[in-house]
Chain A
């Protein structure tokens, strides 16, 4: 396999090419788009978690100054929002773009009001009168499963969308029978609300002249948006729809999905013949952006007398919300169960998942998506087991690590995955060393004597990036391929434009991809343009999620560069009258081996490709290549994180003293960018551990719908992180990269929770569910003291 490494830009902390516009206020985000004749949209949303719609009266609203139109489900005749992942036996409820007959969660859109200004639209929305017949609601996944619980859909019995299992049930039962010790723990993984700082937004502009719809939308995957909207919802040819996703202010999963608002705005733009803009208010983001996590789990781990894991048994109720969001079924199934082996040799695993509908906002991928749920569970169980066995948590992990496998032979787990390459112990050793683990254990013991409660948390984790290959995904229910495209177009001057199906919403692709190209072609980065986020320019693409951009998107670009270099070599050989096998391509030149003066530069070859005055006979003019790269497997980054906390038992306050992350994300293209992503991921993971909680009342009212109620990490609450890396290249892709976007979020949550519970060990507190707020800790300590 061709390798793209070992040259000067790969691995360099190049300054980001995006930043000149971001630091000067020149970024172009969706809400910055302003078109002539543009109208504004506001949505009428359900205040009820569950109710019938008896009537909608929009007469008054329509008569208000500045209101252009009001539309309801009665007007907007389009398909329902599609679900893109089908599990065996799954029941998929119809999800209308505007509620019809019934509302099933607070915030569900019921009507759209179009105004000349945002104020007119919002005033109009206030004036739409909807008469509801309230019904009982249910927000908890386990309660929704009980007999007699409120039913969301008549044809989905007990609100169960699917029942899914993975692993060997009989082998797992046998493992538990032979176990010296069994540790059991109910574990909740609370609901999270993504809260990208840029709210979702769209501008839909239908041109009556050409019949083309242009949609600017905050999307992580504009082609997926176009495909699903055109083919399944609007019923128009993709060729009549262009989706542009310009600068996007963070996604974290929440901008993967197709939502009601962009569909209804697109329909309305066509109905009115005018552009329609909608930008979410923050409250709308809380109510209608897809949420994350929300699992209720019973976990059991079986161990032998030496602390070796024999088996793991998991039963999870996954809350999917009121409807199935675009990839909802995938997250608590194939992105969850197969991660349960972690970095440990576990002979037998059996995992059962019930996918449940409740009267809450739909739940889908949120940074990490299934992998944090699995890792949290497994790492919590490791610490519970270490506590019961009275073994140091780091030592228990070490005893169970999968031995190194870096020679290309994958490691097969009992839950489907075959890990690509791994060497887990060095990362653990390095993290313990950087944290001063042994010393901290001594300080902890000393501190306890003086009433100071220091806690240490250690996590060894695995991550799975770049879901693949497409054929396997298809056999498991995917409604999409999981490859990526990369078109490389060399212009006659030698300038290079790269059109990638990946989408950057903070990841810095304009920089990292340019580094790859500059390295491969030996030309300056200034001559390279990375184009993303526009279906009008890019042939096709699957977008950015699951930390797939470098390993899948980057590899597609490298494949195209190989083709370009191949053709360039033939042209250069022809011009030099040399055998193409005698040429070396270096520093942007093809030179004859041994006589460096006989050479053709990149620019000369590019120009000749377009002049076509003197190219090999039969060769087509031009110099461009498109590749579709479908990886043979996921990549599996891994690492070890350590947190040190100081918990004040009198106030319940946790202070994060130290955070160490040693990650192995394979080869690193730009360490500055990777460090930044790791930092941000850790912050989100810490947020889940300590503060963030999307709280619904039992009936389904969202009680945490503002940033004052939903606590996200702030600058004065986090330590500065110590980061380091080990490097185990992936044999899966030509770059040897594994993916770095989600590692921090996956590892940080259990690391911090385990640290806090380690601090509370003297009080006999074995487990608390997240978030570990001061109140929760204080109550637990108080109860323990009684």
Chain B
């Protein structure tokens, strides 16, 4: 299968990647770029596990083609911490035990990040709605919602 040279901007850096054009963003991230933090759950766009951000918006990487994303800004879970500092969402997830098996966690973190960027003080119901496309089978969601609330509170200058 002939490969095409793609220039992808991922986590703030440009990468030249040779990949077959039919490969999905999920496959290219995981297989060509070694960014295995992005997980595959169904590859049908049903579970939200593979969510990444493209220009800040949640996108299912199993349904996205890299060739269409040249010049766009892709963010994966590996790009959430900046300069070794965890994102407030990551911090809150760890503090409250919002991850269990950890498999859906990257996609949920990124979806939540997009929510907080757009709506820094979401209500619990708004958080529920924003995360309704990300399935989690372990947590029953309560601690995830708690963690997003906590991160929002801290990011907007509230405590704790």
Q: A residues touching B (Cβ–Cβ < 8 Å)?
A: 13, 15-16, 18-27, 29, 31-32, 119, 195-199, 247-250, 252, 279, 281-282, 505-508, 672-673, 675-677, 679-684, 706-708, 712-718, 720-721, 744
Contacts and interface: CB of A to CB of B under 8 A. Distances in A.
A682 B41 CA distance: 22
Interface of B: 1, 30, 35-44, 46-47, 49, 76-78, 80-81, 86, 90, 93-97, 99-106, 109, 124-125, 127-129, 131-145
Nearest to B139: A680
Name the prevailing secondary structure of the A interface residues. Answer: loop
A708 B77 CA distance: 26
A68 to B, nearest CB: 16
Contacts of B41: 197-199, 282
B94 A720 contact: no
22 contacts: A23-B99, A24-B81, A29-B39, A31-B36, A119-B1, A197-B47, A197-B101, A197-B136, A197-B138, A249-B103, A675-B143, A676-B138, A677-B100, A714-B132, A714-B135, A715-B127, A715-B128, A715-B132, A715-B141, A716-B129, A717-B132, A718-B140
Contact of B39 (A18, A249, A676, A681): A249
Contact of B97 (A196, A249, A279, A673): A673
Nearest to A195: B137
A188 to B, nearest CB: 23
Nearest to A710: B46
Contacts of B80: 24
B137 A681 contact: no
Contact of B135 (A197, A252, A506): A197
B101 A248 contact: yes
A281 B47 CA distance: 13
A196 B136 CA distance: 9
Given A676-B97, A683-B139, A684-B137, 4 more contacts: A15-B95, A25-B106, A249-B102, A507-B100
B29 to A, nearest CB: 10
A208 to B, nearest CB: 26
Contacts of A715: 127-129, 131-132, 134, 136, 141, 144-145
A680 B129 contact: no
A683 B132 CA distance: 14
Q: Which 10 pairs, one residue from A and one from B, show the smallest C-beta to C-beta distance?
A: A25-B37, A249-B103, A22-B102, A683-B140, A506-B101, A679-B140, A25-B77, A282-B42, A506-B100, A707-B46
A19 B94 contact: yes
Contacts, number: 178
Given A25-B37, A25-B106, A714-B132, A250 B96 contact: no
B93 A19 contact: yes
B97 A23 contact: no
Nearest to A719: B142
Contacts of B103: 27, 29, 196-198, 249-250
B135 A712 contact: yes
A713 B105 contact: no
Contacts of A279: 40
Contact of A676 (B124, B128, B137, B143): B143
B49 A25 contact: no
Interface centre among B37, B77, B100 (most CB of A within 10 A): B100
Given A24-B80, A24-B81, A247 B102 contact: yes
Contacts of B136: 197, 680, 715
B77 A682 contact: no
B144 to A, nearest CB: 7
Nearest to A117: B1
Contacts of B39: 29, 31, 197-198, 249
Interface centre among A19, A248, A508 (most CB of B within 10 A): A19
A25 B94 contact: no
A673 B105 CA distance: 16
B101 A198 contact: yes
A197 B141 contact: no
Contacts of B128: 715-716
B140 A721 contact: yes
Contact of A22 (B36, B46, B96, B105): B105
A125 to B, nearest CB: 16
Contacts of B131: 715-716
B96 A24 contact: no
A263 B80 CA distance: 39
B146 to A, nearest CB: 8
B140 A680 contact: yes
Interface centre among A13, A281, A672, A715 (most CB of B within 10 A): A715
A22 B99 contact: yes
